[in-house]
């Protein structure tokens, strides 16, 4: 499935800031949507989702992450 098709709607509905005020840059909206899919299909808590993304290569591959990429912590999931 091409999750990039959801990008325009996600960016419109999430209304990310323009980062003029500074702060940490947001995670990619498609990445966060894919994490929500994993979390829902596997009935995972936020903490367990974070752990399994870091633990399972299959989750990382689905999310398009490399071994050294930053993963959202449980508070951001």
DSSP secondary structure letters along 10-76:
HHHHHT---STT--PPPPPHHHHHHHHHHHHHHT--HHHHHHHHHH-HHHHHHHT--TTS----TTT
Q: At residue 61, does pLDDT exceed 80? A: yes
Give the residue-averaged pLDDT of 43-72: 95
The tens digit of pLDDT for each residue in 49-58 reads 999 999 999 9
What residues does each domain of the chain span?
1-14+26-77
The tens digit of pLDDT for each residue in 5-31 reads 999 999 888 776 566 777 777 889 999
pTM, two decimal places = 0.84
């Amino acid at each position: 499935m091409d999750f990039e098709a959801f990008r325009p709607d996600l960016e419109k509905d999430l209304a990310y800031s323009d980062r003029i005020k500074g702060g940490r840059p947001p995670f990619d909206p498609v990445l966060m949507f894919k994490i929500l899919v994993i979390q829902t299909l596997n009935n995972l808590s936020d903490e367990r989702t974070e752990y399994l993304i870091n633990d399972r290569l299959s989750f990382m591959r689905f999310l398009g992450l490399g071994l050294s990429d930053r993963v959202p912590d449980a508070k951001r999931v």
